[in-house]
Structure 1
Amino acid sequence: MKFSLIVATLGRSAELERLFNSLAVQTHQDFELIVVDQNADDRVETLVERFKYLIQIVYLRSERGLSRARNVGLQAVRGDVVAFPDDDCWYRPDVLEFVALKLTTTEAASAGLTGASVDGDDKPSQGRWATSPLTVNRYNIWTCATSYTIFLRTDAVRAVGRFDEQLGVGSGSRWGAGEEVNFLLGVIDAGFQVHYEPSLRVCHPEPLAVFDHKAYTRGRLYNRGFGRVLSLNRYPLHFVFYLTARPVAACLISFLKGDVSRARYCWIAATNRMLGWADRR
């Protein structure tokens, strides 16, 4: 089983090197790393030169925008399974072996596998994660997948075709996230079955370790994208309200505990989810 790993990168060097190092020691070595560079300088080219004898690398460039970069990368895919590692995530040595084994044995009928995100100490990062294996559907997808924990067979990827370039980091729109969930929903809507396995874990730092101006800005963009995906995929109103009520409740609890910074972030999350959902443009 050959993997095609599409990584879009902008503004990172040490983090990207960490990812490269983690791939160089994978116990399953049948993969290609498709690097889509969006930097104006040569930092990534220099890194590629260092690692090209250790791992198979396809080097490409694209315009700014995460979804644009992934669409460029998709054109170069030659593997059986496609994944989308972030440039600041990293794989444990057995990640690709684990996925390959699952997709050739217990999940041989599945179009893909998703997993959870953890930090370097094996604690959940980037949100809440389901604790039991599940078949991914429209309602549990929010606790079963993020971009770098999604592994899809190439035929399922081809069935969807492209990422929505109006969604995601660097899109230039108001919707700064959600592109990977929107894409995975397309896979499910096309009739493919995808499974979530909590023991499949990909490492990524927790982005909300500090609630500062950067976190608030990220919260606005990401949650507007969240709401936009709910709108594009015609989620029922009661489910939209449920997903909005959760950060409202967290806001109230944080405020009562005196954690004003967290309360502010939760309020930003709730209001921008609704704004993203209500924005029909």
Structure 2
Amino acid sequence: MKFSLVMATLGRSVEIERLFNSLVNQTYKNFEVIVVDQNEDDRVVKLVDEFRDRLEFVYLRSEKGLSRARNVGLKHIHGELVAFPDDDCWYKPDVLGYVAGRFAAEPSLRGLTGCSVDEGGSPSQGRWATRPLRVDRYRVWTCATSYTIFLHREAVDLAGPFDESLGVGSGSRWGAGEEVNYLLKVIRGGVPVEYDPALRLYHPEPLRQMDDKAYARTRLYNRGFGRVLRLNDFAVYFVFYLVARPLAGAALASLRLDFGRARYYWIAATQRYLGWQDSVNARGETA
């Protein structure tokens, strides 16, 4: 089975070189890297040229917006298995071999997800389930982020395109959630998607420091989180559970006098609620 790895990129180069080196070192070699470049300069072109003798590339350009870029990339996939590596993640040498082995051993499997860890092996990018399980609409929130998702081509065809009003660079207020929304479309199709915590992908933890950049990211990401809850008609009780969790975190952080983290949790809670309440046009321009 061949992998198509769809990587959208904007503003990075050192991180892409790390990812490319990790792909060169994969024990499983049957894959292509579909690079969707959103830069106005040639930083990515230079890296693609540098690695072209060691990796199979499809090089594309697109307008800004993560979901837009992935949709451009999906039009050019040739593999039976599809993944969406971030331009700042990287793979252990056995990742693609492990995933290919799971799909080969389970012919009915149409999706496999793993968890995210930082360079030290600690969980990154949120909370993660600790045991293997079947991914459903309620479990998906602790079982997947974009670069930990591997889908069979049939699941990709079932899901269709990414929602371009969601995600980084969309131009809307919903700065995340596009990959969970996409995976929810796969799950609604009734095909089996499994979560395997032994499948671990590397990604830096972006919230080590509570500063203005972290707070801005938290606003966009959680507004998108709430929007996905609305788009997929989640029950009110579940929405309020997901809002109550960070509210409780804000209260506990305040009691510990950790006001930076308390502010982070407060932003997360309020933006989730606002995203769920948004009744807007497709660009997210009104509340």
| Equivalent-residue separation in structure 1 for 2:217 and 2:21 (angstroms) | 28
Report the counterpart of residue 6 of structure 1 in structure 2.
6
| Equivalent-residue separation in structure 2 for 1:108 and 1:264 (angstroms) | 46
Report the counterpart of residue 55 of structure 1 in structure 2.
55
Report the counterpart of residue 204 of structure 1 in structure 2.
203
1:82 matches 2:66:
no
Note the residue ranges of structure 2 that are not aligned, 5 or more in a row: 281-287
Query: Which secondary structure does the structure 2 equivalent of 1:196 belong to?
Result: strand
1:20 matches 2:8:
no
Note the residue ranges of structure 1 that are not aligned, 5 or more in a row: none
Alignment of 1:199-278 (within 5 A): 199-278=198-277
Report the counterpart of residue 171 of structure 2 in structure 1.
172
TM-score where L is the length of structure 2: 0.97
| Equivalent-residue separation in structure 1 for 2:127 and 2:26 (angstroms) | 27
| Equivalent-residue separation in structure 2 for 1:164 and 1:109 (angstroms) | 27
| Equivalent-residue separation in structure 2 for 1:112 and 1:182 (angstroms) | 14
Residue 43 of structure 2 aligns with an amino acid whose one-letter code is R
Task: Give a deviation string over 1:54-83, Cα, whole Å, max 9, x none.
Answer: 010110000000000000000000000000
Residue 79 of structure 2 aligns with an amino acid whose one-letter code is G
Task: Give a deviation string over 1:151-187, Cα, whole Å, max 9, x none.
Answer: 0001110111100000000000010000000000000
Report the counterpart of residue 139 of structure 1 in structure 2.
138
Per-residue deviation at 1:216?
0.4
| Equivalent-residue separation in structure 1 for 2:95 and 2:224 (angstroms) | 29
| Equivalent-residue separation in structure 2 for 1:140 and 1:111 (angstroms) | 17
| Equivalent-residue separation in structure 2 for 1:268 and 1:10 (angstroms) | 26
| Equivalent-residue separation in structure 1 for 2:160 and 2:129 (angstroms) | 28
Per-residue deviation at 1:112?
1.1
Report the counterpart of residue 121 of structure 1 in structure 2.
120
1:101 matches 2:119:
no
Per-residue deviation at 1:34?
0.1
Query: Which secondary structure does the structure 2 equivalent of 1:5 belong to?
Result: strand
Query: Which secondary structure does the structure 1 equivalent of 2:112 belong to?
Result: strand
| Equivalent-residue separation in structure 2 for 1:142 and 1:62 (angstroms) | 29
Residue 271 of structure 2 aligns with an amino acid whose one-letter code is N
| Equivalent-residue separation in structure 1 for 2:208 and 2:13 (angstroms) | 21
Per-residue deviation at 1:108?
2.5
| Equivalent-residue separation in structure 2 for 1:72 and 1:34 (angstroms) | 10
Query: Which secondary structure does the structure 2 equivalent of 1:54 belong to?
Result: coil
Query: Which secondary structure does the structure 1 equivalent of 2:268 belong to?
Result: helix
TM-score where L is the length of structure 1: 0.99
Report the counterpart of residue 36 of structure 1 in structure 2.
36
Query: Which secondary structure does the structure 2 equivalent of 1:39 belong to?
Result: coil
Q: After the TM superposition, list the runs of 4 or more consecutive aligned residues in structure 1 that deviate by more than 4 angstroms.
A: none
Residue 34 of structure 1 aligns with an amino acid whose one-letter code is I
Report the counterpart of residue 159 of structure 1 in structure 2.
158
Q: Taking every aligned residue pair, what percent have the same amino acid on both sides?
A: 65
| Equivalent-residue separation in structure 2 for 1:177 and 1:100 (angstroms) | 28
